[in-house]
Amino acid sequence: MDNIITIDKYDFHDVALEYKEQGYDFLRCLTGMDWGEDGLGAVYHLENTLTQENVVLKTKTTELSDPILLSVCDIWKGAEFYEREIFDYFGIRFLGHPDMRRLFLREDWVGHPLRKDYDFSLNPLRMTNEVTADMTQNIEVLKDGSVIKKREVLFDEDEYVINIGPQHPATHGVLRFRVSLEGETIKKLDVHCGYIHRGIEKMCESLTYPQTLALSDRLDYLAAHHNRHALCMCIEKAMGIEVSERVQYIRTIMDELQRIDSHLLFYSCACMDLGALTAFFYGFRDREKILDIFEATTGGRLIQNYYTIGGLQADIAPDFVQKVKEFITYMRPTLKEYHDVFTGNVIMQGRTKGVGVLSKEDAVSFGATGGTGRASGWACDVRKRHPYAVYDIVQFDEILYTEGDCFSRYMVRMKEIEQSLNIIEQLIDNIPDGEIQVKMKPIIKVPEGSYYAAVEGSRGEFGVYLESRGDKFPYRLKFRSSGLPLVAAMDTLCRDAKIADLIAIGATVDYVVPDIDR
Amino acid sequence: MEIKNKEYLDDMVRQLNESGTKVFVGCLDEFINWGRGNSIWPLTFATSCCGIEYMAVGAARYDFARFGFEVTRASPRQADMIMVAGTITHKMAPVLRRLYDQMADPKYVIAVGGCAISGGPFKKSYHVVNGIDQILPVDVFIPGCPPRPEALLYGMMQLQKKVKVQKFFGDVNRKTDKEE
Amino acid sequence: MFDFGIITSWIHEFLTSYLPLGLATFLECVLVGVCIILLYVVIAVIMIYMERKVCAAFQCRLGPNRVGPWGTIQLICDMIKMLTKEIISVRKSDKFLYNLAPFIVILASVMAFSCLPFGRGMSVLDFNVGVFFLMASSSIGVVGILLAGWGSNNKYSLIGAMRSGAQMISYELSASLSLLTIIVLTDTMQFSEIVMRQQDGWFIFKGHIPAVIAFVVYLIAGNAEVNRGPFDLPEAESELTAGYHTEYSGMHFGLFYVAEFVNLFIIAGVATTIFLGGWMPLHVSGLDGFNHIMDLIPGFIWFFGKAFFVVWLLMWMKWTFPRLRIDQILTLEWRYLIPISLVNLLVMVIVVVFKLHF
């Protein structure tokens, strides 16, 4: 159970700044909360990137009709999108936030869905085209203490604004960018999310714990095991369940296979976006081999539903070990082929080297974890920072680059495939015997409190924040998306790049849209 | 065709007269439908999980190019079929409808996966459309979460069959007034 | 070697013996027009089928194989579908230019196509500035693409059109320069003459180093001129959805699609004619028996064989390389290819003046 420090809403900005100066420069997670009678608020998970210490802050307001909190987006850049998300979900407005628009829902949406008193009937399906305003509204404090509403212009009348998405081959789903161009150069980029916002967090509040597991797989379908691992870990942590060694080993191996699968898909899609179609097919060809292994054990190709609270759905398939070994011996030379056909290509290097540079400070400030953060030189691997499962007993390197450009983001992932193979190799022969499922009560109830657990997903830290009131339903379940900080950084990455660079950046940052929108 | 008895022949003539099939036009119809059915170009459209399986169908192991689904077009103007692979949310619904409207006739819709068919696991969500048949006319439903690539291929081949019984010159395919 | 000119002159005599000269010429024109358009369509079908099969082979796939044996009549299906598909007219577009654009592109392509000498006496347009005419007519295509981008009132189309304008006009230069390099060697611009001069050896061998350089430059520039990968920026699928033809549907799009592939064939055909001896068989001086066997193979088979080999090379390039960025494309042209071609032209002049060629 996390130790939460409650801070008065008027002091919050100063306290947050103090923490930042003490070295808490990574805003891991920012969760909006509706405590019913107790008011609305937000929970901040901070981490010191040098010492890996964590602190959890909380602030709230009892004003329900027009709740206002202080913004921290000048302290942590990543807070900008999180605060917009909270505004969208709970209607809390943040003072000093430059761009207080809804993040996921339509501009004309009525009400705020994650409030406990939200009425579903307010928003029937609207088939009218959404009008995207070129203006945004924010609130600002004047020197004399009074608060004014200000309108700000996002795009001028005479700017050449093009829409990239929501249906666009290079956005990997239904993300939408509004891009202001000058010739081919990008002057400004505005991210519109929410085209696949499925309201998973709200749905989880009315599902029992085992039922919530089913939805986590569908968040980031290329990290289905990771997502579920995080959720299971969080619930197990809350209930104090120790899973057996065997389960830990199998989970680790499955996680790493999933990571390879995801990185292969990353490779394929990056190649396709950069125009090398043949390499796309190579990646997909080899990905099928992993899916076969998954299918034999879990019965699913993408959505596996394999981990359960306290164990696994089923034991591994009889030929699992042998198949995995075959795959490892197959994959190593194939990686070389990948490098031959794509990495070494002079055009590919010209397209990606020095393009879309994200500095280490920015990466930390945005909270851009995963391959993107590591390419900028930030050692942000959860497997190293807060080892879980059996990651503390295996040997593997955390791949770090310092350039922070598209090429290093690409290389981090390609090298991580090798590391994942190493991890699997160390574990595959030593899977201990044991129970695959801890005996659980028929109705799972989590003791009261709030808990946070994180795993290293395919594209960054995937966290689960759970607040329980001792019920069989979670009171609030928040998924720390690994993709949202990445798209938050898109504007910074794409300034003064070309349209073609936007595609290369989008491909190498490697976001998965349902994971952003949840 | 082997004609067994007179009744059979009469029956056939009656049927032909009723459905208004002309020999020449009927042949041409068949020819055109053969062409259309074997050349259905999909739109590159995917919203979530099923989209990955859809990509897998296009990739090396399953390869829908074999059946003439070769060219996935990114522009809806040039596509014949939209494969709604994934959840459609309230925000996406008008966009999807617009994409469909942008496509040139003849156009077909395949609903892939539980989400597109009925809302699937997200049926109770506040932001998910419970089945795209509320907003588009759907030709083929492919259930699954996500459907296996084989299922996708089977569904696409069902669509091909469906296309082959349409009429280009007959009445069935004529544009009717749109019911909104 | 069989001369196709015998047949054409026989037809001419036959017609003039029955009809007045004017009418006979008119009939011949119609006949030739029909033939060239038929050939155009056939080449388009073969090219598209080849593209699909070649890319499938590169990508560990099978490619179309259900319609007809090995999927050979897949393209017929595509054609029927295209022809019966609705042509959408876009509101707020410039209707006239929008509808005109695909025809300009196809016109330019057909004009360039009719310059190619397919065999001995088997050429439609063959006059003393043939190469010049080919370069001129093929560059009309860019006008069509610009009009398409402008006329369809779509921002993606406009960006695509502007890209292709910049790209095609730039690459025209080095393509022409590399052709000019060979013309220095041949001192004629007539295609039939150029082929005839390669009787004792193809120019790529005769012109040795400068000719090989010119050949490579021509392949790169030609590829860029027809907007094929890795230079397929104007339609860059992952960036601009479909580039300049985003708004086109049905047969309008079909015309663009067909023109793209036939243009590729034209580039290969010109490369064949200028560098690889056109319909001239492979001759090795001294080996008379070998030369005689080679002569038995008809000229047009030589021509199409070589041309499709070059096409295959270009497809290999397309399916392997990632796409370039617009500034890289222009840098490649203006910083590297043009200086190289200019120096190469000078080298060729020196070679010719001092009779260093074979």
Please write the tens of the pLDDT for every residue from B79-137. Answer: 888 888 888 888 888 888 888 888 888 888 988 888 888 888 888 888 888 888 888 88
* B111 and B152 Cβ atoms separated by less than 8 Å: no
User: What is the model's pLDDT at position A446?
Assistant: 82
The single-letter code of the amino acid at B166 is Q
Q: How confident is the model at residue B180 (pLDDT cuts 50, 70, 90)?
A: very low
Enclosing domain of residue B95: 41-158
* A210 and A309 Cβ atoms separated by less than 8 Å: yes
Secondary structure class of B70 (helix, strand, coil)? coil
Q: Which residues of chain A have pLDDT under 70?
A: 1-2, 141-147
Distance, CA of A145 to CA of A399 (rounded, Å) = 49
CB contact under 8 A, B65 and C66: no
Question: How big is chain A, counted in residues?
Answer: 518
Omega before C298 within 30 of 0, i.e. cis: no
**pLDDT > 50? residue B173:** no
Residue B23 maps to a domain: no
Secondary structure class of B82 (helix, strand, coil)? strand
Please write the tens of the pLDDT for every residue from C147-176. Answer: 888 888 888 888 888 888 888 888 888 888
Closest CA to C216 of C117, C313, C303: C313
Q: Is domain A200-517 in CATH 1.10.645.10, yes or no?
A: yes
Long-range contacts from C23-27, C-beta under 8 angstroms, 24+ separation: none
**pLDDT > 80? residue C319:** yes
Omega before A166 within 30 of 0, i.e. cis: yes
Q: What pTM was computed for the model?
A: 0.87
Distance, CA of C193 to CA of C278 (rounded, Å) = 11
CB contact under 8 A, B52 and A222: yes
Beta bridge partners of A40: A34, A61
Distance, CA of C236 to CA of C318 (rounded, Å) = 12
pLDDT > 90 fraction of chain B, expressed in percent and rounded: 0
Distant-in-sequence, close-in-space partners of B156: CB < 8 Å, separation ≥ 6: B40, B64, B67, B69, B110, B140
User: What is the model's pLDDT at position A30?
Assistant: 87
Which chain C residues contact residue A276 at CB under 8 A?
Answer: 320-323
User: Distance of CA A316 to CAs A216, A250, A355, Å?
Assistant: 21, 8, 43
User: What is the model's pLDDT at position C327?
Assistant: 84
Which chain A residues contact residue B98 at CB under 8 A?
Answer: 129
* C51 and C315 Cβ atoms separated by less than 8 Å: yes
The segment(s) of chain A belonging to CATH 1.10.645.10 are: 200-517
Tokens of A49: 């990137």
CB pairs under 8 A between B and C: 96
Distance, CA of A63 to CA of A58 (rounded, Å) = 16
Tokens of A336: 């070389």
Q: Would you call B161 an interface residue with chain C, using a CB distance cutoff of 8 Å?
A: no
Residue B164 maps to a domain: no
Query: CATH number of the domain that B110 lies in?
Result: 3.40.50.12280
The single-letter code of the amino acid at B19 is S
Residue scoring higher pLDDT (C264 or C300): C264
The single-letter code of the amino acid at C144 is G
Which chain C residues contact residue A499 at CB under 8 A?
Answer: 159, 239-240
C116 burial via Cβ count (<10 Å: 0-12, 13-18, 19+) = buried
Closest CA to A103 of A70, A80, A124: A80
Distance, CA of A400 to CA of A417 (rounded, Å) = 14
Which chain C residues contact residue A345 at CB under 8 A?
Answer: 321-322
User: What is the model's pLDDT at position A60?
Assistant: 83
Closest CA to A204 of A174, A181, A177, A231: A231
Q: Would you call B106 an interface residue with chain C, using a CB distance cutoff of 8 Å?
A: yes
Distance, CA of A454 to CA of A384 (rounded, Å) = 12
**pLDDT > 60? residue B170:** no
Q: Would you call A170 an interface residue with chain C, using a CB distance cutoff of 8 Å?
A: yes
* Distance in Å, alpha carbon of A105 to nearest chain B alpha carbon: 7
Give the pairing of strands B81-85 and B108-112: parallel
User: What is the model's pLDDT at position C246?
Assistant: 83
**pLDDT > 50? residue B25:** yes
Which chain C residues contact residue A277 at CB under 8 A?
Answer: 55, 59, 319
The segment(s) of chain A belonging to CATH 3.30.460.80 are: 4-148
Instruction: Please report which residue ranges of A112-165 form alpha helices under DSSP H.
Output: none
User: What is the model's pLDDT at position B1?
Assistant: 43
**pLDDT > 80? residue C223:** yes
Q: How confident is the model at residue B18 (pLDDT cuts 50, 70, 90)?
A: low
User: What is the model's pLDDT at position B172?
Assistant: 46
C183-207 mean pLDDT: 79
CB contact under 8 A, B38 and C85: no
User: What is the model's pLDDT at position A282?
Assistant: 86
The single-letter code of the amino acid at A8 is D
Query: CA of C75: which chain B residue's CA is closest?
Result: B39
* A206 and A398 Cβ atoms separated by less than 8 Å: no
Beta bridge partners of A27: A46
C32-38 mean pLDDT: 86
Q: Is domain A4-148 in CATH 3.40.605.10, yes or no?
A: no
Secondary structure class of C66 (helix, strand, coil)? coil
User: What is the model's pLDDT at position B168?
Assistant: 66
Please write the tens of the pLDDT for every residue from A204-235. Answer: 888 888 888 888 888 888 888 888 888 888 88
Residue B60 maps to a domain: yes
**pLDDT > 60? residue B171:** no
Residue scoring higher pLDDT (B21 or B117): B117
Distance, CA of B116 to CA of B51 (rounded, Å) = 12
Nearest Cβ partner for B60 among A128, A265, A284: A284
CB contact under 8 A, B75 and C88: no
Mean predicted lDDT score pLDDT of chain C:
83
User: What is the model's pLDDT at position B4?
Assistant: 57
Tokens of A206: 């009315």
Q: How many domains does chain B have?
A: 1
Distance, CA of A432 to CA of A246 (rounded, Å) = 5
| Block residue for tokens 């020449």 | B24
- Write out the E strands in C4-99: none
Distant-in-sequence, close-in-space partners of B180: CB < 8 Å, separation ≥ 6: none
**pLDDT > 60? residue B21:** no
Q: Would you call C91 an interface residue with chain B, using a CB distance cutoff of 8 Å?
A: no
Q: How confident is the model at residue C141 (pLDDT cuts 50, 70, 90)?
A: confident
* C356 and C347 Cβ atoms separated by less than 8 Å: no
User: What is the model's pLDDT at position A145?
Assistant: 63
